[in-house]
Structure 1
Amino acid sequence: MTAELVRGQNHPLPHSRLEIRVTAGAPVLACATLADDRGTVLGVEWIAHPGSPTLPGIEVSRQAAAGLRFHVDLEAVPERAHLVHVLLALPEGVGGPARFGTTASPFAAVTATDGTEIASFTITGLEAESAVIALELYRRQGAWKVRAVGQGYAGGLAELFGDQGVPQAREFAAGIQEAVARHMASAIQAPLTGTPDGVRVRADGSATATQPGQTAGGAAGAGAPSGAGATPGPGATPHQLPGTPGQQPGGPADGQGQQPAAAAHGTAGGRVNYTHPRRQNTAPPTPPPASPQAQPGQAPRPVAGDATGWSMEERLYNQVWGMFEDLARATAAYRSAVDFAESRMDQELDRVLSDPRSRIGGTGDAAREAARAKRDRLTDQAREALDRDLGQLAAESEVVEPALPPAYARWDNPVWHAYRVPMDNPMALRLGDLHLPERTELHIPMLVRLPLERGLWIDSGRSGSEAALMLDEGQLRRLAMDNAVGHAARLLAAYPPGEFTVHVIDAAGSAAGSLAPLVAAGVLNQPPATGAGGVAAVLAQLTQRVDLVQMAIRGGAADSLPPGLDTAEQLLIVNDFPHGFDDRAVTQLRYLADEGPAVGVHLMMVADREDATAYGPVLDPLWRSLLRITPVADDHLADPWVGHAWTFEPLTMPPGTQILRRVLEQVAEARRAWRR
């Protein structure tokens, strides 16, 4: 039976390997400290935090989220450490709540590795505090216990670390906040799941939890507030943070559909519908079994669309996200097992070799061999389990990839050869592929939910990856713009005629070659804007559109929009920023990035961040608010569950193919017919 703790109460821990699952009403960052028997942290090397997430026996998340997990192996905790403090704090400078008093009470549950809940604690009574010691695991007479603490600090992490004796606590806390901000700018936001409880249901009846803090059997704990995970991997919009405290990722209408959502969509009757396409308030049906049941002891045969959803498109979307999470968690389990094996070997060697007598003769050599053999055995067992899981995912990928619709498919997928202009708005778009080093050939599609709720920053500079360092600046810029044109073409091809409009700012005219397919096909409403005058005109046009639609929404008068206003989704591609931008233009760009997605205006920046440093901190919020992708392979993206560094592979056009030209010609013809 689960022990529901109150502040100050303790409870014995029957297991040494644990998970601590946290859900909160707003994204929080996680830290853990090891302290001696007096509660003193002996140095920053005794602190696990998003910039350095592991300690012996402790692992925390690299990014902020409303649902987090701590991984704990009490046997691996150093003997000098008598206390493990679980810390939570609100991220600073990201537009979220500044104190816990304005959000739902955080909830922490201590569970065994099989999901069995041992103890839980709802941290009530917080007001002005922005950091809190949630739980304390402590060693007493050779056994471990958990104590509910709930001690808050209005001064944030700096005050908390200072209270624990950490040297230069303020500077150290600021470094942690910066590490969290960096991960937030590159994290993959978890999608709205196909079932209300976040469980991935397959046709064979099996289920996998798809939200942090949950198991396949249900929520993290009784009374826990529902938490969102961080738009990739195949992600929906890759910000780990929900836009509103307690809100699911995906926009204001995700929960009950009571607020205007991401964009305006025209209807036959002339009314403007601001709800997200295909957003439902009830759980979609589970698809019937589409393949023979597996024999006992065998994994079920993979089937494309083997997930919940109202349509095949939605089922494939949910299935891809399920594969993404399965791969993330399987790899995390393997890495944790390997770390555990290494740590166990080190402990055994330390115990044997601490006695000088064991170093004489062959005793020491025998101890080393025995410890290494045990390490190798544990590692081999972990690898065997990982290979089994990866094999099943690879088999699933082989049947899912050919079944994907054009918006989800790679350019070399035969589905593009049968392309027809769609009649319905799309659900998601593929930006690229993701893979992990454990099996580089197993690629997971990186899907983002549509309408875009977060803009894109396509990095045209030296990102630090090996692939980028092998190219000169001109090649990188051309690849980045080619990538932007490919994404714009996919969006135009995914929407019905008249439902999507692309604007281009190419102030210096340097991207004419990359933009040629869009210009030649005639799918742009107006030529790419050049010079300072062109930049000002496009920004003024889109800023006015945002203002008008916002006023219509607030006034409840969506039908009174000017008759000439384009109510389609709008995408603005900006090349070679900040060339051609003055201070006013930069302010308008920031405004579009912040306010545009809610009313159907989206931003795609093709730029090198180093070129934009002249604007200093003015553009930092813009950089952090956009999903950064690269034109070459790079490992800068993190998943919302365990924070792996995923290698992003951009979509590339097969050499010599005419697919892009043919698709754009069909889009242009459909647009001309729609205008008639």
Structure 2
Amino acid sequence: MTAELVRGQNHPLSQARLEIRISAGTPIVAGATLGDEQGRIHGVEWVAHPGAPTLPGLEVSRQAAADHRLAVDLDAMPEAVHRVSVLLALPTGVAGPTRFGAVAAPFVAVTGLDGTEVASYTVTGLEAESAVVALELYRRQGAWKVRAIGQGYAGGLADLFTDQGLPQAHQLAGGIHEAVAQGIARSVPAPPPRPDGDRSRQAAAPALGPEQGGPAPHGASGPVPPQPTSPYGTQTPGVPGQPAPQPNSPYGTQPPGVPGRPTQQPSNPSGTGATDPTQPSAPTSGGSIDYSHPRRQNAAPPPPPPTAPPAQPGQPAQPVAGDATGWSMDERLYNQVWGMFEDLARTTAAYRSAVDFADSRMEKELDQVLSDPRSRIGGQGDAAREAAQAKHAQLVNQARAALDRDLAQLTAESEVVEPALPTAYARWDNPVWHGYRVPMEIPMALRLGDLHLPESADLRIPMLVRLPLERGLWIDSGRGGSLDGSFTDSHDLRRLAMETAVAHAARLLAVYPAGEFTVHVIDPAGSGAQTLVPLVQSGVLAAPPAVGAAGVAEVLARLTQRVDLVQMALRGGAPDSLPPGFDTSEQLLIVNDFPHGFDDRAVNQLRYLADEGPAVGVHLMMVADREEAAAYGPLLDPLWRSLMRLTPVPDDHLADPWVGHAWTYEPPLVPPGSQVIQQVLTQVAAARVKYR
């Protein structure tokens, strides 16, 4: 299935030989730059353009045209090349438009040699820009991905090359435009208008060899820039011949939105049938997902990146909040947080790999010593054992030193980023909540808690998930959710689980505009009445909590009917045909003490809401003991698998599919005695009254 990307989203590439097809409504210049890990180009020989169209593994068009087909062989790229940026520019010195805002949005597609489209991107939102970086193919830990960039430059190619660190930016830009104007690269007029929906999906052309203008073969000569070193030093430290594992980025299937960080760029964003990197695996439903940010059709150009204080000689650069790419500060902070998550995962994987190697090496050396009976006694055996243990300690110490260095850098970054987070990303104790106001726009993500690893117990990474929620939540109130076993009282755990659910619901209500998020509660036996007081007294609930079998049946019937109505309207292509007064806001159903009070019909309705609801704005939040629910048989298994499990106490149950770390999840705790939730809900309730 083709991945239709939005700005910042990425997608994995499973093929090395690719074509990049470009369609525009006017002749444009297409080129590409090769970049190192930081995305910088080191000379004009790192740029493929109509005047110099061939580089190792890369062939661009020799002409300005309305349609282009660029050839890429990723296996032929020099080892030091980590990025291939596809750039588009309007030619100067010839008749035609001078800004992309005056032409149709360019369409760029990455295809296999057989014409199968892998990923596509329509470059929208351009106005005064005359050059743009459309796509980026980038190498992360041995695997290649494509990311939609859409970064435009009003100053044209000169500004684009300058931004990528090319010293001869103005000279090269002038040379390219001069070549186009003089006819060295002849201009081809735009083709006749194609029918709607046809976006340059032509049949594939045969692969070309270097002599026909195709990509250079493996081993072809060309510039091989020096290998840059990672600013975090995450390669396996001190282990000759034993590199760190090279996992794929967790953002390969995430919604992301991580266009990159100057320090260490996350691959993301993500984002693919979007799965959050911290969520356990679960079956995914069919159908495409719209990853575009809610309400963002005409986004403003990204703000200039912040500048960090000058670093002392020999010291790493000081971290800056919001130094990732993004079209708003919230998006930049979101990308930066996920970059920190990736950096912590990678450096910890490198440390564990080094320790495992040191352990296996020591065991091998000791086995060799003990295999000789003559060395088992006397000083020779003792000396061999001491030597093996000394080598082991040296390797482990080197690995720990590199890990500590990386953790110090990430800790410094966290100390800068955490206070700068907006309310949707901030902890409840962040002062930003003191100035809370009901927002006018839905944020791109929400904080559900914190994540950390055993090697860095003091470093917390915010756990951010994209909005709207694509999976419901299961707040586990069972004793199995206590990491250290300190909570053995089932009553306390149930109370904590319900308090956690209320805190999550309050945060969701707080980050949505007035009238765009509605909460329903099912509490069959009324056991959560005391915990639900903040929601009930503030008046933010759609109705009082439903109790008894009749209340449960009424709420479930109403929400399942809502799902049916919206699905029928969408499938029939008539979303405006919903009944008058229909509530189009996002809906959240909190279910307490499940499965008590639920018959088979009610359970099937919950399963239906969990599977079909998120796509049409209905979400579940279950509060129940997982082990206790399992006793009700396989009927509940699909419901359990479709929801993301969270706990009211720290628990190490979340595993990322990138390197398989078991991340410890910590719920978003409200400081003892704090009235922040009540204050926030009071403002939400007042805004709802004005909205009505």
**TM-score, length-scaled by structure 1:** 0.63
- 2:261 matches 1:201: yes
For structure 2, the residue ranges without an aligned partner over 5 or more in a row are 1-11, 16-115, 119-138, 145-249
Question: Aligned partner of 1:648: which letter?
Answer: Y
Q: What are the equivalent positions in structure 2 for 1:598-609 lying under 5 Å apart? A: 598-609=615-626
| Counterpart in the other structure of 2:519 | 502
Q: State the shift of 1:241 in Å.
A: 6.0
Instruction: Give how far 1:608 is off.
Output: 0.7
Q: Check the 8 A contact 1:231/1:240 in 2, yes or no.
A: no
Q: 1:525 to 1:231 in 2, by over 3 A?
A: same
User: Which residue of structure 1 aligns with residue 573 of structure 2?
Assistant: 556
Matched, 1:378 2:395: yes
Q: TM-score, normalised by structure 2?
A: 0.62
Residue 571 of structure 1 corresponds to which residue in structure 2? 588
Count of residues paired in the alignment: 457
Alignment of 1:173-212 (within 5 A): 191-194=254-257, 200-202=260-262, 206-211=263-268
Residue pairs, 1:471-620, within 5 angstroms: 471-620=488-637
State the partner residue of 2:200.
Answer: none
Contact 1:190/1:230, CA 8 A, preserved across alignment: yes
- 1:145-166 Cα offsets, whole Å, 9 max, x none, are xxxxxxxxxxxxxxxxxxxxxx
**Match of 2:290?**
253
Alpha-carbon spacing, 1:117–1:252, altered in 2? closer, same or farther (3 Å): closer
Amino acid at match of 1:200: G
- 1:295-314, aligned counterparts within 5 Å? 295=312, 297-314=314-331
Distance in 2 between the 1:554 and 1:561 partners? 12
Trace 1:149-548 onto structure 2 (pairs within 5 A).
191-194=254-257, 200-202=260-262, 206-211=263-268, 231=276, 233=278, 238=279, 240=281, 243=284, 252-254=289-291, 276-277=293-294, 285=302, 287-295=304-312, 297-463=314-480, 465-548=482-565
Q: Distance in 1 between matches of 2:318 and 2:598?
A: 55
**Aligned 8 A contact 1:434 1:647 in 2:** yes
Q: Separation in 1 of the partners of 2:499 and 2:407?
A: 33
Q: Distance in 2 between matches of 1:229 and 1:639?
A: 13
Q: Is the 8 A contact 2:418 2:426 kept in 1?
A: yes
Preserved contact between residue 190 and residue 640 of structure 1 (Cα < 8 Å): no
- Structure 2 distance, partners of 1:278, 1:379, is 51
Matches within 5 A, 1:86-101: none
Q: Secondary structure at the match of 1:457?
A: strand
Corresponding letter in the other structure for 1:518: L
Q: In 2, distance between residues paired with 1:301 and 1:295?
A: 9
Shift of 1:326: 0.7
Give 1:230 deviation, angstroms. Answer: 5.0
Structure with max Cα Rg: 2
Q: Note closer, same or farther for the CA distance 1:283–1:667 as it changes in structure 2 (3 Å cut).
A: closer
Contact 2:321 2:416 in 1 (8 A): yes
- Structure 1 residue runs of 5 or longer lacking an equivalent are 1-21, 26-102, 106-112, 119-186, 215-225, 258-275
CA contact (8 A) 2:261 2:339 kept: no
1:149 alignment counterpart: none
Structure 1 residues 363, 376: closer, same or farther in 2, change over 3 A?
same
Q: CA deviation at 1:207?
A: 3.9
1:433–1:444 Cα contact (<8 Å) kept? yes
Q: Which has the higher contact order (CA 8 A, sep 6+)?
A: 1
Task: Look up the SS of the partner of 2:687 in the other structure.
Answer: helix
User: In 2, distance between residues paired with 1:533 and 1:407?
Assistant: 36
CA distance in 1, matches of 2:451, 2:253: 15
Deviations 1:326-354 (A, max 9, x none): 11111011011001001111111222332
Aligned residue for 1:574, secondary structure, equals strand
Residue 470 of structure 1, CA deviation = 2.7
Amino acid at match of 1:317: Y
Deviation digits for residues 290-310 of structure 1 (CA, Å, limit 9, x no counterpart): 213535543221111111111
In structure 2, what is the Cα distance between the partners aligned to 1:117 and 1:532?
A: 54
Structure 1 position 277, deviation (Å): 1.1
Shift of 1:660: 1.2
Q: CA offset at residue 201 of structure 1?
A: 2.4
